[in-house]
Amino acid sequence: MTVNVFLDDYRHCPQGYILAKDIDECIDLLKRFPISHLSLDHDLESKTRNGLMLVHYMVKYQLFAESITIHSANSVAGKQMFTYLKEAQSENLMPRSIHVRLRPLPLR
């Protein structure tokens, strides 16, 4: 059974997704379930354990989803997350078959 995961500590979780409020919850889900779609925010309650740290961890430990969307409204950090994942793909550190998109969501 695959699941969809929504990492965010502020927005409401869309129907059909499991909410992860911090990167530790998200890492736990990545380790326990095959994930179809992973939607990621950057700015979380912890200023040091954010979405960028998560994507670094994902690449280092090869924990991926079939598709990944960066939904952060933080345009600079969201682009950093997107760029890091795309560079990981071009360097063969992440499967090229994973569809990575940058689609910021409003905070409300």
CATH number of 38's domain: 3.40.50
Is residue 80 domain-resident? yes
Cα-based distances in Å from 91 to 46, 86, 95, 98: 30, 9, 10, 14
Residue-level pLDDT at 87: 98
- C-alpha 75/C-alpha 97 separation (Å) is 25
Of residues 45 and 13, which shows the higher confidence score? 13
Binning pLDDT at 50, 70 and 90, where does residue 108 land? low
Count up the domains in the chain and report the number.
1
- C-alpha 80/C-alpha 97 separation (Å) is 20
Is residue 8 domain-resident? yes
List the structure tokens of 85: 């994942």
Determine contact, residues 63/84, Cβ cutoff 8 Å: no
Q: Among 33, 34, 26, which residue's Cα sits nearest to residue 58? A: 26
Which tens digit of pLDDT belongs to each residue from 57-80? 999 999 999 999 999 999 999 999
Is residue 108 domain-resident? no
Is residue 107 domain-resident? no
Q: In sequence order, what are the beta bridge partners of 100? A: 68
The predicted model scores a pTM of 0.94
Q: What one-letter code names the amino acid at 101?
A: R
